[in-house]
Structures are given as C-alpha cells and as structure tokens.
Amino acid sequence: MTDAKPLRADARRNRDALVAKAREIFAAGDFDLRFDDFARLAGVGTGTLYRHFPTREALAEAVYREEVVALCARADELRATRPADEALGAFLRGFITYLEEHQGLARTLATLMATHTGALADGGQALGEAITALLDAAVAAGTIRDDVRVGSVMMALHGICAAYDQPGSRADADGVITLVLDGLRRGA
C-alpha cells in the first residue's frame, strides 16, 4: 500500500516493536497514555518513535495497514488451500471472528483514524480486492452466482462492523454471513 524505501534491519526492528506495542495498547483502549510512552514501552528512544511516526494517528495508520495486509493474506491463503466456495465462507466467517477478537483495536483505530480517509480508503480497496478474488474464484468454480458484486458483500461487512458493539451481535453477525452466503449460492 506504500512505496517507502526499505529500512535497515535495526530500524525495521524498532519500527516493528513500536507497531506491535501500539497494537497491544490500542487493543486495550488505553487513551490516556502519552504518545512518548509508546517509545518507552516498545523499548526504543523517543527520537526513534518520532522518526517513524510523527503522531499517534500515523502510528495507528501503520497498525491499521498491517491488520489489512494480514486479512488480505488470509484471503489469499484460503483461496489457495480450499475449494472456492469454502474459502469465501471461511474468510467471511473468519472476518467476524477477527472482529470479535479485536474489538478494542478496531474501536481505537476507528477513533484515531477518523480523519485519515486515504488510509481507510486504501484498506477498504485492498479488502475489496481480496474479497473480489474469492468471489471470482467461486464464480469460476460455478458455486456462486455471477451477478453479485463485491460492493454488496462489503456493505454487509460494513453493516456488521457498525453494529458489532450491540448485545448479541456475534450471533446476528453470523446470521448475516449465512444470509450473504445463501444469497450468493447458485440458484438462490
């Protein structure tokens, strides 16, 4: 998603340590932590923090981008190892599990990145491309309809994300995924 020049090994380790610690802190929803404390907790100097991430939002964007890369890699892995319709279903259900396991992180990233529409758009596009590849494989296999586009699936996922903090949301989210998958099947 970015064209940054490669980092030296020590700089990469420091950056990775900052991102990993930020992921933990964001997942815990710790909004009171001073930005400089990220450096101390990651075991790096304050200058290193600011060299890589000038703001809390820039650090949140790095965490978000890595999470999107991991989700997209999971879609690729499923597409390579499972029948097409199973890969699509496993990815969509896995997305719900991911959302449940990372609620604090998702909430924090959404709050911190509210003004980073470019990063959010890039992430949405990357996820859309990963889901498109899953859909295309299932269409080619003849297991799902060919008249449903990725936007419909993404809208269902957005709806799930928007309502996820409601009581009973996991069961409702699973139900929405079942509806989506049933609606995608050939002959539906």
Per-residue pLDDT of the chain (188 residues; tens, 9 = 90+): 445 677 788 889 999 999 999 999 888 877 678 999 999 999 999 999 999 999 988 898 899 889 999 999 999 999 999 999 999 999 999 999 888 888 777 777 777 667 767 777 888 899 999 999 999 999 999 999 999 899 999 999 988 888 877 787 888 999 999 999 999 998 76
Dihedral (CA of 52, 75, 100, 160) sign: positive
Domains annotated on the chain, with CATH: 9-184 (1.10.357.10)
Q: How far apart are CA 177 and CA 166, in angstroms?
A: 17
Q: What length is written for the chain?
A: 188
Containing 36, the helix (H) or strand (E) segment is helix 35-42
Six token digits for residue 111: 């709050």
pLDDT of residue 107: 73
